[in-house]
Structure 1
C-alpha cells in the first residue's frame, strides 16, 4: 500500500504546483536569511578570536552559510520545476531529473536537521574554547610591547566593559596572574621585591583587578586594589559588602551571548527544515500525480499521487534487499576475478613446462 496516496484532478494539480512555486520562493528568502545569520555569527566570532582557543566554533556559522547557499539553489530549481509543471510540454524535459533532485533534496534535508542540532549541542565545545582562550588572553594582558600581543590589553578591557564581566570565571582570576607589566614596576622598591620573592615563579601578584572590572553604577569609588584587605579601605568588608566590581566572569557572559544567538538560529533552522520537508513531500506528490495520468492527451483526467510507492516498512525491506544483492554481486565479481587469475597462472605454468 502506497504511503500518503491522494487523488488529484487538473484543478488540484494546478493549485499544488502554484502553492509549491510560492513556497519555494519563500524558502529562497529563508535561505538568504540563514546565509545572513551564518555570516553575522562568523563576524561576531571573529571579533572575539583573540579570546577563543581554536577555530572549531566556526563550524556552525560555516554550516549555516552553506545551508543558505544550498537552500537558495535547491528552491530556485524546484520553483522552476513547479512553474513548468503547469505546461505538460515543458515538464517533459524535467521528468528524468525530478527523481535525482528529490534524492539530493532528501540528503539536503538531513543535513539541515543536523545543522539545527549542532546549533544547540555545540554549547559545551564553545564553553571550553572560551575558557582556554580567556585564560590565555589574560596571561598576555601585560605584554603591551610584545608584537602580536600588544592589543590584548585593549581587547580584554573592551570585552569586560561591553559584557559587564571580570576575569574568566570571576574577578579573583586576576589575583593569580601578573597583569601589570614589568616596565611599570619599581624594582628598587622593597614592596615590589618582597612580592616577587614571595612567589615561586617570580611574578608580581596583587589582589587587584584592571579598571575595566569596575562597575560604574556603584555609588562608591571603585576599589580595584587590595580588594581582599578590609583594613585598607574605610567602612569596607570584603566578605559581606557587595563589591563595586563585576561579579560575573567573561566566560559565562560570552557563553550566554553566543549561546543565545546559536539557539535562536537553531530554532529558525528547524522551521526551515520543516518547510523544506513539506516542499519535498509536495513535489513528490506533484511528480507522481503527473506521471500517473492514464491519458497524457487528456490533462484534465484524474490521477493518483503518493510519497512512497509502498508502505514505509516494505520500502525499508526492499532497500535492504537491494543493498544485500549489491553486496553479493560484488562478492561474485571478486571470486570470478580470483578464478580467472588462478586459471591464468595454471596456463602459464603449463606453457613453461
Structure 2
C-alpha cells in the first residue's frame, strides 16, 4: 500500500510544478544565505584565532559553506526540472534523472540537519579552546619584544575593553602570572628584588591588573595595584568594590558572544532544512504523479502520487533483499576470481564405490 497517496488532476500537477519551480529558486537564495552564514562564522573565529587553542573548530563553518554551495547547485537544477515538468511533453527528458536527483537530495537534506545539530554541539569544544587559548595569551602578555607575540598585549587589552571582561575566569587570574616585563622592573629597588626571590620560578607576581580591566562605570578612579590591600587606599574594601573592575571573565564573555552567533545560525539552518524537506516532498509527489500519468497514456488524465510506492516495512525489506542478492553475487565472483578455466564440480557425478574406481567397460557381443 502506497504511503500518503494523493490524486492529482492535470491542473493540480501543473500548479504543483509551478510552485516547486518558485520554491526551488527561493531555496537557491537560502543556500546563498547558508554560505554567507558559514563565511561569517569562519571570519569571526579567525578574528580571535590568537585567543584560541589549536583545536579543530572550523568544521562547522566549513560544512555550512559546503552545504550552501551544494544547495545552490541542487535547487538550481531542481528549478529547471520543475519548470520543464510543467509541460508534460518535456518530462520525458528528466524521467530517468528525477529518481537519482530525489535520492541525492534526500541525503543532502540529512546533511543540512546534521549541520544544524553541529551548531548546538560545538559549545563544549569552543569553551575548551577558549579556556586554553586565553590561558596561554595571558602568560605571553608581557612578551612585547618576542616575535610572534608582540601584538598579543594589544589583542588582550582590546578584548577586555570591548567585551568588558578581565582575565580568563576573572580578574584574579592576573595575580598568578607575571604580566609586567622584566625590562620595566627597577632591579635597584629592594622590594622588586625580594618579590622576585620570594617566588620559586623567579616571577614578579603582584595583586594588580592591566588598565584594560578597569570598569569605566566606576565612580572612583580605577585601582590597579594592591587590589587586595584595603589599607593601601582610602575608604576602600576590595570585597565590595565590584564596580572598580570588570568581574566577568573573558572566556565567559567570548563564549556568550559565539554562542549567540552559533545558536542563531543553527536556527537558520534548521529552518532551511524544513524548507528543503518540504520542497523534496513536493518533487517526489510530482515525479510519481507524472510517471503514473505516462502509464495511463493520457496527459489529461488523473494520476496518483505518493512518497513510497509500498509501505515503510515492505520497502525496507525489498531494499534489504536487493543488498543481500548483491552480496551473494559478489561472493560467487570472488570464488571464481573471474577465471573461466575453473571447473565447477557437477552435481551429477557418479559415486563408484568405496575405492572410487570406475567399473570396467564390457564390450557388446557380436
Could you say whether these structures have the same fold, taking a TM-score greater than 0.5 normalized by the shorter chain as the test? yes
Deviation of 1:107 (Å): 1.1
Check 1:205–1:341 CA distance in 2 against 1; reply closer, same or farther (3 A cut). Answer: farther
**Aligned: 1:88 with 2:83:** no
Contact 1:292 1:303 in 2 (8 A): yes
Q: Distance in 2 between matches of 1:295 and 1:200?
A: 88
- Which position in structure 1 is the counterpart of 2:167? 167
In structure 1, what is the equivalent of residue 79 of structure 2?
79
Q: Residues of 1 paired with 2:225 and 2:208: CA distance?
A: 4
CA contact (8 A) 2:336 2:342 kept: no
Q: Is the Cα–Cα contact under 8 Å of residues 9 and 300 in structure 2 kept in the other structure?
A: yes
Aligned residues: 344
- CA shift, 1:66, in A, is 0.9
2:187 corresponds to which residue?
187
**Pair 1:47-2:51 in alignment:** no
Considering fraction of residues, name the structure with more helix. Answer: 1
Instruction: Decide which structure has the larger Cα Rg and report it.
Output: 2
Deviation of 1:343 (Å)? 7.0
Instruction: Report the CA distance between 1:322 and its aligned residue.
Output: 1.8
Residue of structure 2 equivalent to 1:5: 5
Aligned to 1:323: 323
For structure 1, list consecutive stretches of 5 or more residues without a partner in the other structure.
345-353
What is the distance in 1 between the residues matched to 2:311 and 2:65? 36
Query: How far apart in 1 are the matches of 2:274 and 2:129?
Result: 32
Q: Which residues of 2 match residues 207-222 of structure 1 at below 5 A? A: 207-222=207-222
Please state how far the C-alpha of 1:297 moved relative to its aligned partner: 5.6
Deviations along 1:15-62, one digit per CA (max 9) or x if unpaired, are 111111111111111111111111111111111000010252211111
Residue in 2 that maps onto 1:347: none
Report deviation, 1:87.
1.6
Equivalence for 1:257 = 257
Give ranges in structure 2 of 5+ residues lacking alignment: 345-366
CA drift at 1:312: 1.1
Other-structure match for 1:197: 197
- Give SS of 2:304's match: strand
Local SS of the residue matching 2:7: strand
Does the CA-based 8 Å contact 1:294-1:303 persist in structure 2?
no
Q: Check conservation: 1:138, 1:179, Cα contact below 8 A.
A: yes
Task: Return the offset for 1:63.
Answer: 1.0
Q: 1:340 to 1:204 in 2, by over 3 A?
A: farther
Give the superposition deviation at 1:318.
1.6
Question: What SS class does the counterpart of residue 156 from structure 1 fall into?
Answer: helix
User: What CA distance in whole angstroms lies between the structure 2 residues aligned with 1:226 and 1:343?
Assistant: 94
Match in the other structure for 1:348: none
Alpha-carbon shift at residue 117 of structure 1 (Å): 0.2
**What is the SS of the residue equivalent to 1:82?**
helix
Q: Deviations over 1:217-252 (max 9, x none)?
A: 111110111111111111111223324111000110
User: So what's the TM-score if we normalise by structure 2?
Assistant: 0.90
Query: What CA distance in whole angstroms lies between the structure 2 residues aligned with 1:290 and 1:103?
Result: 17
**Alignment match, 2:334:** 334
Q: Paired residue for 2:29? A: 29
Quote the Cα distance in structure 2 between the aligned partners of 1:250 and 1:85. 56
Q: Name 2:102's counterpart in structure 1.
A: 102
Q: What's the CA shift string for 1:175-212, capped at 9, x where partnerless?
A: 11111111111112111111111111111111111100
Instruction: State the TM-score, normalizing by the size of structure 1.
Output: 0.94
Deviations along 1:295-346, one digit per CA (max 9) or x if unpaired, are 67631111111111111111112222222222222222222339989879xx
* Match of residue 276 from structure 1: 276
| Partner Cα separation in structure 2 for residue 15 and residue 34 of structure 1 | 28
In structure 2, the residue matched to 1:141 is 141
**SS of alignment partner, residue 268 of structure 1:** helix
Q: CA deviation at 1:283?
A: 0.3
Displacement of 1:103 in angstroms is: 1.1
